Amino acid sequence: MVDFKWFPGFRVFVVLHVLSIISFQKITIAQDEKAVLLYTSTEIEIRDGKMISSYSFDLLINDRSADYLSKVVVPYSKLEKLNSLEASLHNLDGSLIRKLTRKEIVDKNDISNSSLYEDQFCKVFTLRNSTFPYRVKWSYITETSEFVTICNWIPVINSEIPTQKAKLRIITPDDYKLRIKSSGISDSSIVCIDHCTVQEWECSFHNVYAEESFQEDNVENMPRVWAVPLKFHYDRDGRADGWKEFGGWVNELNYQLHWLPETEKLYVASVIENNSSRKEQIRKLFYYVQDKTRYVNLTIETGGKKPLPANYVAEKGYGDCKALTIYLKALLQEAGIPGYYTLLKAGIVNKDIDDLFVANQFNHAILMVPLESDSLWLDCTSNYPLSYTGSFIQNRYALVVGDSGGSIARIPALSKQQVWKYRKGTIELSASGPAEIKLQISTGGEEAERIRYICKKPGYNGKIKALTDFVNIPSFVNDSLQIVEFNRDSERNEIVFFGKSNTLVQFYGSELVLPLIPLEPGFFAAPTERTTRMKLPFPVCLTDTISFIIPEGYQAAGLPGPRSEKSESGIYEISFTSKGDEILLARHFEVKAGVYSHDDYENLYSFIMLVRRIESASTITFSKL
């Protein structure tokens, strides 16, 4: 037997050999996935008022379904300069195939569909191999002296791609104060070296899942480190000790942006002269902004950019959410009406901001205008009525900014009455042809917003088809429709559809069977198929009053009995009434808004399954006379 202590060099060789075997085993296991982020590291150093960030990635692509990941996008901006970029293509064992050349890198503006211009840029390249598996490695360094966030580190490409190993290191002067929030981290450390504080985090991500409907948080169950400085500089010095201080910095950022051209001041004067009511003055000026301006997207989430001034929007006729908000604020200010610049995290399903974690968590700006009885929350990027709080901003925390700083407020939720959907109609059944359908649909909430957008979109060739999708009757073919002209102040839309369906009734021997037309939306998957919490941002409310005309030569062979079911999650009621040659269906369905934990979702799903069983059993059979 050989004693390794007499052969230290050989002992090192054995250790390295064992480590290489372990490493290769990990990569072999990783081949079970379509792709794996084998390793990623981020190092951020604060030095002499600058933030220098170094990133590296090692991505394994196992088959063609993940080939799209070989296209890499590296973001940067005018304020965050890209100092270096390197990339290379490798075999599974890490051996080099080739390096990225400069001519393969494409410079682009990071422009979204609704933008005219942006100061966000990206470098794009593709390193693809003809055989699988292969690895793509890339690294880059950015530098900036203007920032409000150190990092919001989530070392995951997407929820379906695992991360085998990830490291984050933040190096700051020892007197540099940070606020840090982390989750899903397996290991962390902090040491002080040469008047610097070095903090490190290490993690992995293996609980992959496909994106799910109404997912509360698109980074739920992912590892995360969020770090912000308590003192920062972006255009000017700011503090994040509390929301008051952070809001004070935002207010100073917006200082002297409210100057208006003389023509605008004259218009405001005419509005005041012709409208004595303060709310009517607000209404006129809000709709003036809607009619005169176009929204373009200039992201604020990456750094809280300074808004364009009001006179710029007045002259150009466009601006992003920040600029349009400043413009409306300036118009109201000219009229002697106070308005408060307000920041929030917008999105129909987006998780709300953490009101206990002071940081730039925002991606949208609106204007809060206080009234005696209530407040208006005005989104200048929308075409919504004055008093309507849209689905994009409702029911969430917001940072309201004034001369005394910032404070957190709650934007009201859309009510059940606001989102209610009513369907009323007549369906004439036939044994020898299609059912003739007249259906009147009245909608509110997010569905009404979509209809309003479709109706107002110029030159939209798919308008009729897009509107017909709201009918939700099997095999419905639209013959014509009437859009009831909606008042600008109306929150609801109404459309009358005329059409046919060939599959509404089904033959079983000499009998005809009529299943119910669909009721609830199909996004309620079984609890075993969900890994994330479900967030219903507003209630689901539907009421049907539909008259079925019995086919000629037939009679109803009995009607299902009435049912009424209630649970913590919702309400379901259904009844049938026979009257001459008609059968009247009265049906009502509700599901409460809110965030459903896994246990809550199981209860909700039990209620949904009960409703589905009742619906499935509530068919009407017609027999020949």
Please name every residue paired with 411 in a beta bridge, in sequence order, or none if there are none.
Answer: 396
Nearest to 437 by CA among 451, 420, 423, 454: 423
pLDDT given at position 7 = 36
Element (H, E) at 22: helix 8-30
* pLDDT at site 14: 38
DSSP state of 330: H
Which of 52, 249, 254 shows the shortest CA–CA distance to 150? 52
pLDDT of residue 389: 93
Burial class (CB within 10 angstroms; exposed 0-12, middle 13-18, buried 19+) of 73 = exposed
Pairing of strands 540-549, 421-428: parallel
Residue-level pLDDT at 306: 85
- The span from the CA of 366 to the CA of 376, in Å, is 10
CA 117 vs CA 164, 181, 318, 348, 434: distances in Å: 38, 34, 11, 25, 51
512 CB-near residues (< 8 Å, 6+ apart): 429, 431, 505, 506, 551, 554, 621, 622
Strand partners, 534: 215, 596
Q: In whole angstroms, how far apart are CA 471 and each of 217, 438, 478, 492?
A: 30, 10, 9, 16
More confident residue, 440 or 520: 440
Averaged over 124-135, what is the pLDDT? 97
Residue 11 pLDDT level (bands cut at 50, 70, 90)? very low
For 457, the token pair is 């979109």
The CA distance from 162 to 181, in Å, is 22
How buried is 105 (Cβ within 10 angstroms: 0-12 exposed, 13-18 middle, 19+ buried)? middle
Is the separation of the CB atoms in 59 and 157 below 8 Å? yes
Average of per-residue pLDDT values in the chain: 90
d(CA 381, CA 401): 19
The pair phi, psi for residue 517, each rounded to 5°, is -70, 150
pLDDT surpassing 70 at residue 110 = no
Give the list of residues 6+ apart from residue 532 with CB closer than 8 angstroms, or none.
209, 212, 215, 216, 217, 220, 221
- The strand pairing partners of 442, in sequence order, are 422, 494
Segment 101-108 shows an average pLDDT of 94
Q: Residue 529 carries which DSSP code?
A: G
* pLDDT tens per residue, range 174-223: 999 999 999 999 899 999 998 999 999 999 999 898 888 888 877 878 99
Rounded distance between C-alpha atoms, residue 318 and residue 54, angstroms: 36
- What residues pair up with 396 in beta bridges, in sequence order? 411
Higher pLDDT, 23 or 402: 402
Asked if residue 395 lies in contact with residue 446, where contact means CB atoms within 8 angstroms, the answer is no
Residue 488 has pLDDT above 70, yes or no: yes
pLDDT in tens, 534-581: 999 999 999 999 999 999 999 999 899 999 999 999 999 999 999 999
DSSP assignment letter at 167 = E
Return the ∠ at Cα 76 (arms to 70 and 81), rounded to 5°: 130
What percent of the chain lies above the pLDDT cut of 90? 77
pLDDT tens figures, 231-248? 999 999 999 999 999 999
The yes-or-no verdict on residue 336 having pLDDT over 80 is yes
Considering only 12-21, 46-55, 340-349, which range has the smallest mean pLDDT?
Answer: 12-21
DSSP 541-576: EEEEEEEEEPPTTEEE---PPPEEEE-SSEEEEEEE
Q: CA 240, CA 238: separation in Å to the nearest integer?
A: 7
Would you say residue 266 has pLDDT above 70? yes
> Model confidence at 13, in pLDDT bands (50, 70, 90)?
very low
What CATH number does domain 417-624 carry, 3.20.20.105, 2.60.40.10, 3.40.50.2020, 2.60.120.1130? Answer: 2.60.120.1130
Reading the block at residue 317, the tokens are 């006729």
pLDDT at residue 26, rounded to an integer: 56
What tokens were used for 338? 């106070």
In CATH, the architecture of 32-229 is Sandwich (2.60)
Of 191-205, 294-308, 323-337, 465-479, where does mean pLDDT reach its minimum?
294-308
Helix %, strand %, coil % of the chain (to 5): 25, 40, 40
Sheet with 120-126, strands from edge to edge, namely: 71-77, 120-126, 106-109
Confidence of residue 455 (pLDDT cuts 50, 70, 90): confident
Q: What percent of the chain clears pLDDT 70, i.e. is strictly above it?
A: 92
Estimate to the nearest angstrom the gap between the alpha carbon of 137 and the chain centroid: 30
The burial of 587, by beta-carbon neighbours within 10 Å (0-12 exposed, 13-18 middle, 19 or more buried), is given as buried
Give me the residue label for tokens 């997912």: 215
238-413 belongs to which CATH class? alpha beta
Average the pLDDT over each of 260-264, 278-282, 515-519 and give the range with the smallest value. 515-519
472, pLDDT greater than 50: yes
Please compute Rg for the chain using Cα positions.
30
> Per-residue b/e over 226-254, b at no fewer than 16 CB within 10 Å?
bbbbeebebeeebebeebebbbbbbbbbb
In this prediction the pTM is 0.89
Q: Is the pLDDT of residue 514 over 90?
A: yes
Say if residue 452's pLDDT is above 80. yes
pLDDT tens, residue by residue, 283-309 = 999 999 999 999 987 655 444 578 999
Q: How far apart are CA 534 and CA 611, in angstroms?
A: 19
